[in-house]
Amino acid sequence: MTVLPMFPLEHPLLPGEPLHLNVFEPRYRALVRDVLSGDGDFGVVLIARGSEVGGGDERHDIGTVTRIVGHRQRASGQIELACRGIDRLRVIRWLDDDPYPRAQVEPWPDAELPAGQAWTHVRGPFLSILAEIQGLYDDLAVRRGRPSTTLGAPESLPATDYTFLTAANLPLGAADRYAALCAAGPAERLDVLVRALDDVQPLLQDRLQT
């Protein structure tokens, strides 16, 4: 187990995903100073109830180890951070919030695919649904005169990286993103994404008809 400074947010961060923060609360400015003087890592978890500002929030226990890759101190004292999600974590125990939130955490790697189950076979049904969503996105982009967005990650990526990056690219709400983060492994994560895309598809179709 490791003790990490923790940054609760209202939006879940996925491994491999970039994160930009504008830090202004004194407690989180102190967190950033300590993190920068160390290895540059802290934890991000989703707020279950409450807000990012002021404390007193309730937090989920599954999150992401996050690394600072760049920072800038503003004259106002605020700190701009460029970060990236690294690995999934599980909170074992929350510690005192003084001077900022901290927790004992452990790594939570993805479960492996069941023996004899090929990743290309598991991914096949998801790719067909993703292709339909991509087509709707492309049509919507043409209608609005904007470039389209590629939703799927490169298929050459390992299963865990592929599913997390694809989840980050999809237009998902916080609940679906958190469900993807909590999925036991890549196969279970694809199941989460398929269910989420079933909800996204009619919304995109409605936008094309208006």
- Which comes out higher in pLDDT, residue 145 or 210? 145
- Which comes out higher in pLDDT, residue 139 or 54? 139
Amino acid at 27: R
- Which comes out higher in pLDDT, residue 202 or 88? 88
- Which comes out higher in pLDDT, residue 51 or 18? 18
For 145-167, what is each residue's pLDDT tens digit?
Answer: 888 889 999 999 999 999 999 99
Q: Grade residue 1 by pLDDT with cuts at 50, 70 and 90.
A: confident
Q: Are 178 and 164 in contact (CB under 8 A)?
A: no
- Cβ-defined contacts of 94-101 (< 8 Å, 24+): 94/59, 95/3, 97/27, 97/55, 99/27, 99/30, 99/31, 100/5, 100/6, 100/27, 100/28, 100/30, 100/31, 101/5, 101/6, 101/7, 101/8, 101/31, 101/59
For 69-98, what is each residue's pLDDT tens digit?
Answer: 999 998 888 999 999 999 999 999 999 888
174 by DSSP, 3-state: which?
helix
Which range has highest mean pLDDT (60-64, 130-134, 205-209)? Answer: 60-64
Closest CA to 65 of 47, 83, 92: 83
List for the chain the helix, strand, coil content (%; round to 5): 40, 30, 30
